[in-house]
């Protein structure tokens, strides 16, 4: 039996309703070191006399004044049970949940929530800062001094004032340099949010990146987001060779209910086939996201940081919108 970490804010507050500031769940209590407990035949045994456990979970579902639909009740009830204790079938074995500095689960059994929605996540400008690293390379190699604010479209040849083929060649040169291999950092807040979302969503990467950088992309994801994505798919867009695959096609094959992406073109493409899209415009700083028509699509919601991503997905789950 392994007990959940007491300092994780996810367990202190799962969701706050937009118009109701009451917490849906509150986690209270003191949690002693897991080494103080042993598992035997499904019972919790204390290894030390001084060890003690005081754990309570308060649910707003006890409030009869609020009525929820059946699907949401079932999901949240299971969520409440799973948040208290994770049970293991191996008797007499010490069960520990080790979490490293990044919050990544190293040992223990992951939470298993019913009806986990499938969520597709883009890489560049959503998980990592691709454009700023590319722009540094272009400035140093070609003496083209642009600011990121000038990248009003994802078609780089229009920014660099060259042909489409020449732009593709420059990008592939970028792939071979330290600017790409070592210069792309995670977007602020993404690591914490992805780890949190992985507990109640089935996350997969759906990127337009080319097949020639597949291995490095997988290595980068394992370094910064270890074990958090179930599948990784490449669209092979803007490639020098090989076939490309539309993101909408990949998402449909995955059964994705949500796509998190920064490209308006992909957002519209996926929304048109019934996929909800969170259009990621970090701190309102992506000029290529400033398209008025995209804001009017009912299945596209613009978000400006990873906290807003979490809040929107949690809201959809608890309202049964995507279950």
Domain ranges within the chain, ordered by starting residue = 108-129+185-322, 131-181
Arithmetic mean of pLDDT, 145-168: 94
pLDDT at 113: 57
| Residue among 82, 100, 124, 295 flagged as catalytic | 124
Task: Judge whether residue 297 has pLDDT over 70.
Answer: yes
Q: Would the CA dihedral through 256, 312, 279, 182 be positive or negative?
A: negative
* 3-state percent breakdown (helix, strand, coil) of the chain, nearest 5: 40, 20, 40
- Give per-residue pLDDT as tens, 7-30: 444 443 444 334 443 333 333 333
Residue 122 has pLDDT above 70, yes or no: yes
User: Is the pLDDT assigned to residue 269 strictly greater than 90?
Assistant: yes
Q: Lowest-confidence range among 109-118, 145-154, 209-218?
A: 109-118
The percentage of the chain sitting over the pLDDT mark of 70, rounded to a whole number, equals 63
d(CA 285, CA 129): 12
Q: State whether CATH 3.40.50.2300 applies to domain 108-129+185-322.
A: no
More confident: 65 or 294:
294
The secondary structure element, H or E, covering residue 196 is: helix 190-197
pLDDT for position 296: 76
pLDDT (0 to 100) of residue 319? 86
Predicted confidence band of residue 115 (pLDDT cuts 50, 70, 90): confident
Q: Contact 186/131 with Cβ under 8 angstroms?
A: no
Residue 124 is a catalytic residue: yes
Q: For the residues 268-279, what does the mean pLDDT come to?
A: 96
**Which pLDDT value is given to residue 322?**
66
Alpha-carbon gap, residue 105 to 140, rounded angstroms: 40
Nearest Cα neighbor of 31 from 11, 12, 7, 49 is 7
Task: Find the angle CA(165)-CA(171)-CA(172) to the nearest 5 degrees.
Answer: 90
Mean confidence (pLDDT) of the chain: 75
Residue count of the chain, please give it: 323
The residue among 31 and 179 whose pLDDT is bigger is 179
pLDDT of 101 strictly over 60: no
Higher model confidence: residue 254 or residue 91?
Answer: 254
Q: Which residues contact residue 85 at a Cβ distance below 8 angstroms, ignoring those fewer than 6 apart?
A: 1, 2, 3, 4
- Phi and psi at residue 67, to the nearest 5°: -105, 130
**82, 122, 261, 262: the active-site residue:** 122
Of 45-49, 180-184, 288-292, the one with minimum mean pLDDT is 45-49
Is the model's pLDDT at 264 over the cut of 70?
yes
């Amino acid at each position: 039996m392994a007990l959940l970490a007491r300092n994780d804010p996810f367990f202190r507050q799962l969701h706050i309703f937009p118009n109701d500031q009451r917490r849906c769940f509150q986690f209270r209590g003191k949690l002693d070191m897991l080494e103080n407990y042993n598992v035997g035949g499904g019972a919790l045994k204390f290894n030390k006399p001084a060890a003690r456990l005081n754990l309570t979970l308060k649910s707003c579902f006890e409030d009869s004044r609020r009525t929820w639909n059946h699907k949401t009740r079932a999901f949240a009830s299971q969520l409440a049970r799973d948040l208290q204790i994770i049970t293991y079938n191996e008797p007499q074995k010490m069960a520990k949940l080790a979490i490293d500095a990044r919050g990544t689960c190293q040992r223990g059994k992951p939470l298993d929530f019913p009806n986990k929605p499938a969520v597709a996540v883009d890489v560049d400008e959503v998980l990592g800062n691709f454009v700023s690293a590319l722009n540094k390379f272009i400035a140093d190699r070609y003496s083209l001094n642009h600011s990121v604010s000038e990248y009003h479209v994802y078609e780089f040849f229009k920014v660099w004032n060259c042909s489409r083929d020449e732009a593709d060649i420059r990008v592939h040169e970028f792939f071979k340099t330290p600017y790409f291999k070592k210069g792309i950092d995670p977007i602020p807040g993404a690591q914490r949010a992805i780890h949190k979302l992985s507990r109640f969503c089935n996350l997969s990467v759906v990127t337009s990146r080319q097949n020639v950088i597949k291995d490095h992309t997988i290595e980068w994801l394992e370094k910064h987001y270890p074990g958090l994505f179930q599948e990784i798919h490449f669209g092979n867009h803007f490639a020098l060779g090989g076939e490309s695959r539309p993101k909408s096609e990949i998402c449909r094959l995955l059964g994705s209910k949500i796509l998190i992406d920064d490209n308006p073109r992909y957002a519209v493409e996926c929304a048109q086939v019934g996929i909800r899209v969170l259009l990621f415009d970090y701190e309102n700083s992506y000029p290529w996201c400033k398209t008025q028509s995209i804001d009017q699509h009912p299945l596209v919601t613009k978000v400006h940081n990873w906290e807003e991503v979490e809040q929107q997905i949690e809201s959809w789950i608890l309202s049964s919108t995507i279950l």
